[in-house]
């Protein structure tokens, strides 16, 4: 059974940093791309970032490019999102999702999310 | 960036009735289109991928179709557990993009 468990959310001041983690199990982690998708309170889904199974290929939404970094440790079956220079508009629930393929594809499975609040 | 436009924003339907949701892409996404639904306080769940293929465990009352850049999700007979927000997503190009969602509510 595929399981994705996010952690690392919390409250941070504008300009601060957080690192989110997503622990994966139930599949061969290094064989699949992974994504981060966020949802601001009461709003829709926004794709944030993705990487390939090896982690060598990465993609970012313009809204986070230069501030967020996606990475993964395939030995630990864990996906990360390093978030720097946080802004109030980054406040959201952050979901990790498993892609259907090595570098892209639909988001087949989702974690339950971790809440990030950026506020002074 | 490909813009995905869903309509209507809200759909009021009685249990047992048919619901038809639309999603339009601003340019071709081939058949790389997925539908998800999301209930309050829960993560999204994949319903349809490849525009018309049901994901594992999804009931047959859910169906998807495509015509060019227009995509449709049909729920043939709404059950109580189907009242939720529905999102389309294109995964043909980076950045992947979602529609703004359609809320299906009880009439």
B65-76 pLDDT, tens digit each: 999 999 999 999
- pLDDT of B59: 97
Q: Do A95 and B87 touch (CB under 8 A)?
A: no
- pLDDT of A105: 87
- Of the candidates B46, B94, B95, which has its C-beta nearest A107's C-beta? B46
Residues of chain B found within 8 Å of residue A58, distances taken between Cβ atoms: none
- Of the candidates A46, A95, A106, which has its C-beta nearest B46's C-beta? A106
pLDDT digits (tens, 9 = 90+) for A10-45: 999 999 999 999 999 999 999 999 999 999 999 999
Asked if the model's pLDDT at residue B36 lies above 90, the reply is: yes
Residue A75 CB partners (closer than 8 Å, separation 6+):
none
- pLDDT of A9: 97
Q: How far apart (Å, rounded) are the C-alpha atoms in residues B10 and A38? A: 22
Distance from CA of A44 to the nearest CA of B (A): 6
Q: Coil, helix or strand for B67?
A: strand
- Of the candidates A95, A108, A111, which has its C-beta nearest B46's C-beta? A108
Determine contact: B101 vs chain A, CB below 8 A. yes
- pLDDT of A102: 87
DSSP state for residue B96 in the 8-state scheme: P
pLDDT digits (tens, 9 = 90+) for B42-81: 999 999 999 999 999 999 999 999 999 999 999 999 999 9
Determine contact: B43 vs chain A, CB below 8 A. yes
Indicate if the alpha-carbon torsion angle A12, A14, A17, A20 is positive or negative: positive
Q: Which residue of B has its CA nearest to A96?
A: B43
pLDDT digits (tens, 9 = 90+) for A48-107: 999 999 999 999 999 999 999 999 999 999 999 999 999 999 999 999 999 998 888 899
Percent of chain B having pLDDT more than 70?
100
């Amino acid at each position: 059974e595929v399981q994705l468990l996010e952690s690392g959310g919390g409250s941070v001041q504008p300009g601060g940093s957080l690192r989110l983690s997503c622990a994966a199990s139930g599949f061969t982690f290094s064989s699949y791309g992974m994504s981060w998708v966020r949802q601001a309170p009461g709003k829709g889904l926004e794709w944030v970032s993705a990487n390939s199974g090896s982690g060598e290929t990465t993609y970012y939404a313009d809204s986070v490019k230069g501030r967020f970094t996606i990475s993964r440790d395939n030995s630990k079956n864990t996906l990360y999102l390093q978030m720097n220079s946080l802004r109030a508009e980054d406040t959201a629930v952050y979901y990790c999702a498993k892609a259907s393929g090595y570098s892209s594809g639909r988001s087949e499975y989702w974690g339950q999310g971790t809440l990030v609040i950026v506020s002074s | 960036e490909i813009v995905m436009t869903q309509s209507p924003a809200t759909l009021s339907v009685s249990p047992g009735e048919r619901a038809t949701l639309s999603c339009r892409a601003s340019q071709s996404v081939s058949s790389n289109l997925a539908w998800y639904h999301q209930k309050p306080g829960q993560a999204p769940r994949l319903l349809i991928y490849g525009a018309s293929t049901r994901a594992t465990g999804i009931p047959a009352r859910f169906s998807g179709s495509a015509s060019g850049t227009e995509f449709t999700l049909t729920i043939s007979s709404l059950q109580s557990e189907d009242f939720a927000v529905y999102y389309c997503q294109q995964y043909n190009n980076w950045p992947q993009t979602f529609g703004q969602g359609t809320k299906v509510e009880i009439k």
